[in-house]
Amino acid sequence: MRDHVKRACAATVATAAAMALTAGMTGPASAQRNGPLRPGDTGARATGTAQEHHRITLITGDRVTVDAKGRAVGFAPAKGREHIPVRTHRSPNGHTLVLPADAQRLVADGRVDQRLFDITELSKKRNRAAQSKGLKVIVGYQGSAQADAKADVRAAGDTTVRRSLKTLNADAVTTPKQDAGDLWKALTGERGGARTTASGIAHVWLDGTRKATLDKSVKQIGADKAWNAGYDGKGVKIAVLDTGVDATHPDLKDQVAAEKNFTGAADAKDRFGHGTHVASTVAGTGAKSGGTFKGVAPGAKLLNGKVLDDDGFGDDSGIVAGMEWAAAEKADVVNLSLGGGDTPGIDPLEATVNKLSADQGILFAISAGNDGTPGSVGSPGSADAALTVGAVDDNDKLADFSSQGPRVGDGAIKPDVTAPGVDITAAAAPGSVIEKQVGQNPEGYLTISGTSMAAPHVAGAAALLKQQHPDWKYTELKGALTASTKPGKYTPFEQGSGRIAVDKAIEQSVIADPVSVSFGTQQWPHTDDKPVTKKVTYRNLGKDAVTLGLTLDATGPKGDPAPAGFFTLGADKVTVPAGGTASVDLTADPKLGAALDGAYSAYVVASGGGQSVRTAAAIDNEVERYDVTLKFIGRDGKPTPNHQSSFSAITGADKGLNLFPNDPSGTDTFRVAKGSYLLDSAIYVDPDNGDKGVDWLAGPTLSVDKDTTITVDARTTKPVDITGPDPSADLAFLDGRYSYEGYEMGALNISSFQSMRTAHLGPEVPKGLGQQWLGTWRKGADTRYDMLIGGEVKKLATGYTRHLKRADFATLKVGMGASSPGRTGALSVAGYLPLAGGISPILPAQKLPRTQTVYVSALDGVRWGIDFDQYGDKNADGDPAWDGAYRMLPEPFTAGRAYAKSFNTGVFGPALGKDRGGIFREGDKLGGSLAVVADGKGHTGWSAYASAKSTLYRDGTKIAENGDPLTGEETFTVPAEDAAYKLTTTVKRDPKVAAVSSRVDASWTFRSKRVTGQTQLPASTVRFTPELDLRSRAAAGATQSVPVEVQGSAAGAGNLKSLAVYVSYDAGRTWQKTPVRGGKISVKNPAKGKGIAFRAKVTDKGGNTSTLSVYDAYYGK
């Protein structure tokens, strides 16, 4: 059994914890909702609830603003944590950690889940939805102090226990976000001067979200022959823990013995469609098809545990509770067709699988996952006890989506077996999400693919064996199914022992225990390696002795035969006594593979007595690696554990690996592949107060080509001295950061630059290294100075001095509009240099409308972007709730010059053009990704809406509609053939959110057919830009000239065929055509308190038309 990550040095290759849908949808061409579809690189977002920026509250109570790409762009410490330093660590894989100093060692020790600080993971749509009513975590307990620990957790603010998980000795708890800091205090403490979990606390995990991952396939695994032998699963209970089961389907009528709902859905019925398909593959009777689509074990009874909700999602604690319920209901076999990213440690789902298997003998058949790449087998299929299932097609060809081993962390063999998982036809849940997406064919059934479809074949096969052998537990069932497989031309890391063959398994009396043999990793170099011998042990479950002849088939890292003698057997036959065991030596001689590093594997095939036993074996001949020792020295010259550090592989076999050394001794040693590494380290005088001193040392290109010792010595640093232009302004925020090769490192939550000292480690960097310094000073409520300086460097600064003057800044007068009375708002101002992005403080919201003076530095080629946020009422966490946000893309400014900018004023409407999205087709997916309610200055963003509807017509016939206002979250699936299309969208905004531009209608016509890749379709719009105040008003009754701008395919010389504009003063009941002269229309402003509406119709030279109507475009005053 594998252990947790190495003590004091957590190793991660950041993985997604949200479960991947392990079913790939296939079906006939039809107009159905699908999604998402977005332009390749527009950065555009549109109206709706999907904000471009959002806010994450960490378990410490600190708050982080996150952009659409999962990057930290704003930060505010929790009350009482204003002096605890924070590091940001962004990897090339797109994941950003925001890790306070008092959490790093707990993460490194494996006591606290790193995902709790992975803002990219926490920002995923489903995780945000799951955590919207509070932070959800799983707290594990241990030792004599656990009763007190439980009481302290329950007393932390308004923390509530959602469910207790006996298998884990844990509670799943929810705490309001404003109480997160109280929970953190209850979970942590200090011993011996070091931060640790509180007495009685064993682990703290994110209660993450997980998502769901038949005729010829049943015969393919030999189930029909098992039926003929009298085995159909009768008397066996199989728990299907999934999205629920439609027990009214003819194939599942009277098949469900018990059900329970572990989600927030109303009941255990399947409205997603995944669980019904899985259940009928396991134990469907085939009644509706006359037996054609009969499941593997039609005589078995099902336990319907709904652990995934009506959208296909569920939380970890609900899945654990479902497993415990299945055990209490005496399930013999449990099917889990769900899976997600694995980590080196043991997560709650893996721990539960292992414990229930060992304690109660339950067999868990679990899908491997649909990533399809080496090292991608997901959790909980990565559990030791799991029978982990990959997928093959009906010709036993490995599916390209089937996840492969080795297992993360220890290189063990996974998956264990394969089973049919491509184009599997099984019961459809009428009206469910999947049924709507792929359609029924034939009636009552649907066809989908994935390792989700493979796992229930194995669960059903296990039920047949359980009926045959009622006394067999998971070890025997797993052993017989893996021993009797049909081999494919693949390695153990791709297929385990092979594709299951239950007709062979029912004849099996001899199994291997364990089912595979791992020799672990042999340290490089291999020229002096010694042979390693392991035992292959056979158990005879029958009544007669069996003599087995042994053969060996070995493969090298590239799929070629391994060198002769690399694997050898100690005997060519073995006799296994009835009811007993016998072993044979299997020896690996890694020295014979010294010419080619990598994984070597083998199959030992034992044949005799009318049966054969296949056992997979593997050894990892380590690639060229060396020991690296890091020694951390404080300002006092003594070794110190008071640091936050990371060691990241830039090149070599470990590329993408991130280590976080944090041994209490101040010295860490670990082994890494030859290559170039980035070392980042912040050494603290006091880790609970960064203001007492932070020494930041970094080496972006440290070479490892031998055993290496690196001393990180705070005494080599020099001071940072940066000052702003106005001594009377208060420093509100500072950040130092650098970027290299996709990594971006930052230092937050330090109240003065003078507290920081820096030093560069190692050689110069030829190119690509960027360093920046950011500061925000505030003077009163409406004046601020934002500074970003730096650029490309050869070496990071060893000390840095710069004193800025007012002459170094440009002046921005920024109007902050109010789309309705009673709103508040705030600005986020972020600078961008060529090699790094910006971050800004989270400042308090202020009453709208208002104008702020923003001074921005205009040095070093910096560009500045501004985000405007409008807030309404407070949310459940006590924070202002976003109801609108608009973004100014980064642009340069000139020192000494003044500029005027404004946000959130009319006329709102669609915006097209560069960086603004459009209408797209990709294959047979068609939809929009644009800002339907961009503000009057053309800033894209989003707005809360009361209702939205988008409708697609094909050759004049309505074929589909959805509730997405063309944000790209939803699309339409259309036939391949050329046709004329019309796409319409309507957005209505609540008057409390936006009295101005309260309704926007838009439509586009065009022709389209199937395309390769993504293609932007011709679409136009019209923008109206009258002079308005910050409440979107103009002088009542006055006449003004309103600029009219055509954007999109009709814009530009020669592209416009026709343009007609209309105005209405009675909410669109009547319209007056208004001539456009010189790009403007002349209108009389509406009466005081009344609105005006605009309508336009534009046709481009290709005959594609676009219409736009904006109601209450602006008001009279």
Q: Two tokens at 701?
A: 């290109």
Cβ atoms within 10 A of the Cβ of 747, count?
22
Q: How far apart are CA 550 and CA 579, in angstroms?
A: 20
| Distance, CA of 956 to CA of 823 (rounded, Å) | 43
Q: How many CA atoms lie within 13 A of 1058 on its CB side?
A: 8
Q: Are strands 363-367 and 387-392 parallel, antiparallel or unpaired?
A: parallel
Answer yes or no: are the C-beta atoms of 761 and 712 closer than 8 Å: yes
Q: In which residue are the tokens 């004599």 written? A: 144
First to last CA, the chain: 74
The CB density around residue 1103, as the number of other CB atoms within 10 Å, is 11
Q: Cα separation of 713 and 708, whole Å?
A: 16
Place of tokens 């699908």: 34
Beta bridge partners of 189: 196
Q: How many angstroms separate the CA atoms of 891 and 870, rounded?
A: 22
Q: How far apart are CA 914 and CA 889, in angstroms?
A: 11
Q: Can you state the percent helix, strand and coil of the chain, rounding each to 5?
A: 15, 45, 45
Locate 286 and state its tokens: 């085939």
Q: Which two tokens stand for residue 207?
A: 């209660």
Rounded CA-CA distance 1115/1117 in Å is: 7
In sequence order, the β-bridge partners of residue 353 are: none
963 φ, ψ to 5°?
Answer: -100, 20
What stretch of H or E contains 101? Answer: helix 101-108
Whether omega before 430 lies within 30 degrees of 0, making that bond cis, reads: no
274: annotated active-site residue: yes
Distance CA 439, CA 427 (A): 12
- Please identify which of the residues 452, 601, 646, 943 carries the catalytic annotation: 452
Contact between 1065 and 1086 (Cβ < 8 Å): yes
Calpha distance 762→701 (Å, rounded): 7
Q: Which tokens hold the place of 294? A: 């009969």
The one-letter code for the residue type at 233 is G
Helix (H) or strand (E) holding 461: helix 451-468
Residue type, 50: A
Spatial separation of the C-alpha atoms in residues 63 and 59, rounded to whole Å: 9
1068: left (phi over 0), alpha (psi -120 to 50) or beta: left
Tokens 């491509």 belong to 422
Q: Does the annotation mark 646 as catalytic?
A: no
Q: Which two tokens stand for residue 204?
A: 């703290």
Contact criterion met (CB below 8 Å) for 897 and 811: yes
Q: Are strands 917-923 and 909-911 parallel, antiparallel or unpaired?
A: unpaired
Tell me whether residue 883 is one of the annotated catalytic residues. no
Quick one: which H or E segment has residue 711?
strand 708-713
Catalytic residue among 53, 274, 760, 939: 274
| Long-range CB contact pairs, 881-885, < 8 A, 24+ | 882/51, 882/54, 882/944, 883/823, 883/943, 883/944, 883/993, 884/819, 884/941, 884/942, 884/943, 884/944, 884/993, 884/994, 885/51, 885/52, 885/53, 885/941, 885/942
| Catalytic residue selected from 171, 242, 384, 935 | 242
Residue 464 backbone phi and psi in degrees, to 5 = -60, -45
Contact predicate 602/554, CB 8 Å? yes
Task: Please provide the DSSP assignment of 36-83 as one string.
Answer: ----SS-----SSS--SSEEEE-TTS-EEEE-TTS-EEEEEPPTT-TT
Q: Where in the sequence numbering do the catalytic residues fall?
A: 242, 274, 452
